[in-house]
Amino acid sequence: MVRTALDTIDLQLHSGNHPRVGIVDHICFHPLAATTLEDVAGTAKSLAADVGSSLQVPTFLYGAAHGEGKSLDSIRRELGYFRPNAQGNQWAGGTISDTLLVKPDEGPNQAVISKGIIVIGATGWVDNYNIPVFSNDINVVRRIAKRASGRGGGLTSVQSMALCHTEGVIEVACNLLEPNKVNGIQVQLEVERLAKEEGVCVGKGYYTDLPQENIVDSYLKLV
């Protein structure tokens, strides 16, 4: 899949409202059922070594696959992932310079702008929950996203950012790093509270992924 994507897509021809550092931006392995975090960390490291050597793409490791447990968001901050580079809070073309300021864990130290880089990791299960905010003011929604996040003094184990969605709608996009402790309902209520303080309305949030139980059930039906 990675090889086909790299051979088919030219990042310089693409733009959108979601950040990315490469054609295959991010691959994460999660332990499901009886699989352990150590198991998936080994898989992540093996894939990263293969991608770096055979496909010659700079590859960064995070989470349990990284020797020091480096987090995904810290790598992304180092690489400028969260900074739009085009009008309208868009990301356009290649956003990574050919000479990397941060040394990758695998692969060359230089990136091909049309391909970018890849980040590969292993963590416990992460839920993704997005909440629409009915506003065109990106700064307002950024404040809400920051205050809702653990980094901004809000809900622990929650990462969030504001992403333009459609006209009149900006989403608070959240990673729930410990969904057994902080779930989508809690995030929804917190964003609603913060939005009320900012004088804007929100809609019902939604999960962008399937529950892990459904994924396991679907797999077991195939084997």
Residue 136, token pair as written in the block? 């065109």
Instruction: Take residue 18 and report the two structure tokens written for it.
Output: 């979601």
Residue 221's pLDDT is 92
Please report, for the chain, the start and end positions of each structural domain, with discontinuous segments joined by +: 2-122, 127-207
DSSP per position, 167-190: TTEEEEEEEES-TTTS-HHHHHHH
User: How far, rounded to the nearest angstrom, does the alpha carbon of residue 62 sit from its chain's CA centroid?
Assistant: 12
Q: How many CB atoms lie within 10 A of CB 175?
A: 18
Residue 85 pLDDT class (50, 70, 90 cuts): confident
Strand 201-202 and strand 206-207: pairing?
A: unpaired
Q: Which CATH number fits domain 2-122: 1.10.10.10, 3.30.930.10, 3.30.990.10, 3.40.50.920?
A: 3.30.990.10
Q: Which helix (H) or strand (E) holds 160?
A: strand 158-166
**Is residue 40's pLDDT more than 80?**
yes
Whether this model's pTM surpasses 0.75: yes
- Per-residue pLDDT tens over the stretch 68-82: 999 999 999 999 899
pLDDT-derived band at 94, boundaries 50, 70, 90: confident
Average pLDDT score over residue span 98-125? 94
The answer to whether domain 2-122 and domain 127-207 are alike in fold is no
| Mean pLDDT of the 180-190 span | 98
**Residue 165 annotated among the catalytic residues of the structure:** no
What pLDDT shows up at residue 43? Answer: 98
pLDDT above 80 (res 195): yes
**pLDDT score at 223:** 84
Task: Determine the pLDDT at residue 99.
Answer: 81
Interval 17-32 mean pLDDT: 95
Catalytic residue among 18, 30, 66, 165: 18
Q: Does domain 127-207 have CATH number 3.30.70.670?
A: yes
Average model confidence (pLDDT) across the chain: 95
Q: At residue 32, does pLDDT exceed 80? A: yes
